[in-house]
Structures are given as C-alpha cells and as structure tokens.
Amino acid sequence: MQVRVRFAPSPTGLLHIGNAHTALFNWLFARQHGGRVILRAEDTDVQRSQLGYEKDICEDLRWLGLDWDEGLELGGEFGPYRQSLRQAFYEEALKKLRQGGYVYPCYCSVEELEAERQANLAQGKPPRYSGRCRNLSEREIAAFEAQGRKPAWRFRVPEGQIAFRDLLRGEFAFQGAELGDFLVVRPTGVPTYNFAVVVDDIQMRISHVIRADEHLSNTPRQVLLYRALDAQTPQFAHVAMLLGPDRQKLSKRHGAVSVAEYRAQGYLPEALLNYLALLGWTPKGQEMLSKEELIEQFDLTHVGFSPAVFDQEKLRWLNGQYLRRADDARLTALAAPYLVSTGLLPEDEVAWPSEAWLQKLVGLLKHNIITLSQLPLWAQPFLSEPKYEDKKIVKILQEADSQQVFKAFSAALAGTSQLSSQKAGDMLHSLPEQLALGTGKVFRPLRAALTGQGKGPELAEIVALLGPEKCLERVEKFRR
C-alpha cells in the first residue's frame, strides 16, 4: 500500500506552531517512504472558518518548505478537499450506517442533554450519553416528529472491547460501555468531526494518521466507524502535543504561537522547521539538519510520546546559527522589508545604496542579530545619522583622551578616498601605540562617534563600510 498521509487544519485562525509540528512529521514520513501528502480543510465550523485563513495556512506551509501533492489549491482525484463541499459523501456514508443498523435517531434537545450531563457530573459520573433514544418505538419517533424536532444520528456503540495499535505507543483497548453512543450527524445535517474525518480518510485512501495525542480518545470511535463502513483502518501514530515552559499546553501566554508570528519576527523557515523536528525526536549526531538530512534520518517509530517543551531560547539560538550561515544575497532580500518598514530604506529600490554595499552591510550585521527584525537597530547608523542618546556613549565621547584619538584618526584618514577593511585595520591598530593609550581607550570613542553604539561589527569593517569621508564627517562633530 502506498503511504498516504493528510494534514487537515481548520481554517479558523492562523497556523498554530503545534499544528505545524504535526504537519512536519506527516511530511517527513511521507517523503521518506515515497508517499503522498494530502492537504484538506476541516471547515464545517461555518461561523469561524474563513477562506482567508485557509490561504494563510497554505502560504505558511509553503514558507516552511512543506509542500503537498493533492488537496487545497492543487486539486486531485479524491476532491473536493474542503469538508463544506463534501456533504454528498457524508450523506451516502450515513445512509450506509442506517441500512446496517449502526446508528439511530436522537431527538434529545440541547437543554435535555446539558441537564443529563450536569446530573452525571454531580454524581461523580463521566458525562456520557445515557442512550435514552437508543430503542425508541415508532410511536415515540412519530410524536417527536410531530413536535417538529429534527433528529441527530448517534452511533450504536457495541459492548465489549475496541482495540487498536498505535505505532508509537503500542496496543490500546477501550470498553464500549465507557464511550457511550456518540453523535455522527447533528440535527442540522452537519457531520461531527469523528464522522467526517473517517469518511474523508476512507475516500482519500489515507494509510497513516499521524496527529496530536489529544485525538487519542477519538480513535476508538473512529475505529468503530471504519469497521461499520467496511473500510480498512489506517495505522495511527499519536504525537505528543507541545507544551510551554510551565508544562501547560502551548498558548498565547507563552509568547508567539503561530507560524505567521515567527515569520514576521524574522525567523528563517529552515531554522523553525529544524527546531520543530527536534521536538519529540532526536537525530543522530548534530542538531542542525537540512530538509534532505531530516528526511533521511527521520524515524517515526523513534518519536517519543512524552510531551516536548517548546523552548523559545533554543529556537532563537538555532535561528542565530542559521543567520550566520545564510547567503548574504538571500539574507539581504529577506531583510529589505524590515529596513523599508522602519524608514531606513526608501520604498523605491532605485534610491537604495548599491546591492553590493547592502549585502556587505547585512553580511556584517548578521553576526549581531538573532532575528531579522533586529536588523534595523544595528543598521540604523549605517543607513542614516547615528543617534547619540545613550548616556554611556555621550560620556565616552566627552572623555579627555577621546580628543587625542579623534585628532589622530582624522590625520590618518586625511587625503584617503577609499579604504579596505585590511588597510583600515592596519591603520586602527597603529593608533594605540602612537597615542600611548590602551586599545579600548582608542577603539571605544571611535566606535561611539561612528555609530552611536557601544558594540557591533569589528571597527575596521565599520570604517571600510562607511568610507573615509563619512568617518571624518562624524568624528569632526566631536572635536573641540
């Protein structure tokens, strides 16, 4: 059987980092086994589902590098790939369940069900449906119909054991009596999650269901539906959900939780993808792995089933490592929107500095940043006039020794039209001996005058990038 996996997000919001984690494990498993990835939308929540969210999810998946073979925006032979367009499939499956006697009509109102639920909880019992409509007579059904009640349809859960095997966790067995008869179709005709997902998986020939372990309790119900519909049950693998540092389910209180937020903050897709792969799975050897290396090494059976903690600091560290290794031309293209949005570059590219100069700037500053959104802070003194606002910087500029340094520096640059970083370095390192001052006493005031900052790239690189004319102009401001 060909490996066929699916990722089925609900387009009710942005792509959550936990869902991206699940999508990645599906993708790695399929790509490793030469299988196919299906992307579909579970959009039966009409009130909250939006086409805009669906497009955002597709865009974020592509940004991460997770492509798919069938489904949204691509089509395929098993479409449509939105649940809202698949009502005919659900009606046909319900008809089959009715013919087999697997379901029965339930006329309980929302109020009645809630009252029953509260009564069970008050008695310390699980809030399980009592089965009051399980054996309605024709007369009772007619009476409910006469009242204008529309029935929901419930699955008639058999007694005995419902067993299945999880690829990560081994054998599971649930007792039918523990489940209670569950809804498959609401009075409105809209299918429930458990029913729709099974019908979709059958029709789309899904071979492996890899999902978060919060769905584990749904699995026995779905197994019953597969059997009732005379379909082969896929292989299940329930991956542990992601937790925050407080070991609670990852949520907004832990910081950014959507892929879009990390993208906006200037994380590189390869860094985020790499980090997500490390949550719940440990590769052999190094942790920094390309997509190709992840595909080669990934082993679903070695994914742990203990919850993984999403560590923002580890992600930041990893992103910093990827930034340092990134190609300067690519990084400059990615960084440009941040520089434009902060006014450091005009919107019209024609007015930008040369491409080579910008790439050199980004190449220097990438060693000082963790995310691309931090770049404007470091780039500001190179693309506009420095801000001498820090009291420590002002104090350094006013020190008595600084005047000697500025004078000697200006003299060394006089008559120079251009300077390489090598020549700038030679010139700078001759100044401490010439002035009988420590290196710090020389370099600190120069860095302060040239950038308004206390740290950053090597001073020789700063001098070479700004050029002699700009360096002289800035130093002269502080000569008395």
Are 203 and 77 spatial neighbours (Cβ–Cβ below 8 Å)?
no
Q: What is the mean pLDDT of residues 63-87?
A: 97
Residue 366 is among the residues annotated as catalytic for this protein: no
**pLDDT at 68 exceeding the cut of 90:** yes
The mean-pLDDT minimum among 14-18, 148-152, 300-304 falls in 300-304
pLDDT digits (tens, 9 = 90+) for 311-332: 999 999 999 999 999 999 999 9
Q: What is the pLDDT of residue 79?
A: 95
Tell me the percentage of the chain whose pLDDT exceeds 90.
Answer: 86
Q: Out of 95, 125, 249, 252, pick the active-site residue.
A: 252
Local confidence band at 126 (pLDDT 50, 70, 90 cut-offs) = confident
Q: Cα–chain-centroid distance for residue 165?
A: 29
Pairing of strands 152-155, 161-166: unpaired
pLDDT digits (tens, 9 = 90+) for 378-422: 999 999 999 999 999 999 999 989 999 999 999 999 988 888 999
pLDDT digits (tens, 9 = 90+) for 150-162: 999 999 999 999 9
Local confidence band at 119 (pLDDT 50, 70, 90 cut-offs) = confident
